Amino acid sequence: MENRNGLCVDIRVSSALETEPNAARELLKRQGRKRLKPTSLGADKGYHSKAFVAFLRSKGIRPHIAQIDGRNTPGLDARTTRHPSYWVSQRKRKRVEEIFGWMKSWGGLRRTRFRGIARVQLHAHFVGTAYNLLRLSRLRPAPG
């Protein structure tokens, strides 16, 4: 998701057995092939792992990941969380859930009609495009 306007930048459908950080790695690699380089990545507590934080740091991406109380993770400490940009990312993180909610309720992704990851991925891309078109129409200034 793009933070400024809440647009869906990329979406990936994967097996339920794949962990969220592994799916995020694949999305970041796909963005790299498009020559896009994010400067920070906001995520929830499901991404708070030593390996994922180290991966982000090695790519030069600031991890704006929600911390789990009592867990020490190298690279995700007060030096990261003290900046105002970290708190902005944490507030904007809810917009991702809005996108998923819209895709499930209006886009038909609550219970997909297709079999196979490739077909569901294609359906998710169509629904993400529809969401972006709707979002863009609401971002446009009103005429007059």
Q: Tell me, which fold does domain 20-139 have in CATH?
A: Nucleotidyltransferase; domain 5 (3.30.420)
Task: Read off the pTM.
Answer: 0.78
Amino acid at 24: A
- pLDDT at 133 (0 to 100): 94
- pLDDT at 103 (0 to 100): 92
- Please state the domain extents for the chain: 20-139
Cβ atoms 131, 99 nearer than 8 A: yes
The SS3 call for residue 76 is: strand
Cβ atoms 47, 22 nearer than 8 A: no
Please tell me the distance from the alpha carbon of residue 106 to that of residue 115, in angstroms, as a whole number: 20
Cβ atoms 73, 57 nearer than 8 A: no
- pLDDT at 76 (0 to 100): 77
Q: Taking the chain (144 residues) in consecutive chunks of 10 residues, what is each chunk's mean pLDDT?
A: 85 90 91 88 85 91 84 76 82 85 90 91 95 89 72
- pLDDT at 42 (0 to 100): 85
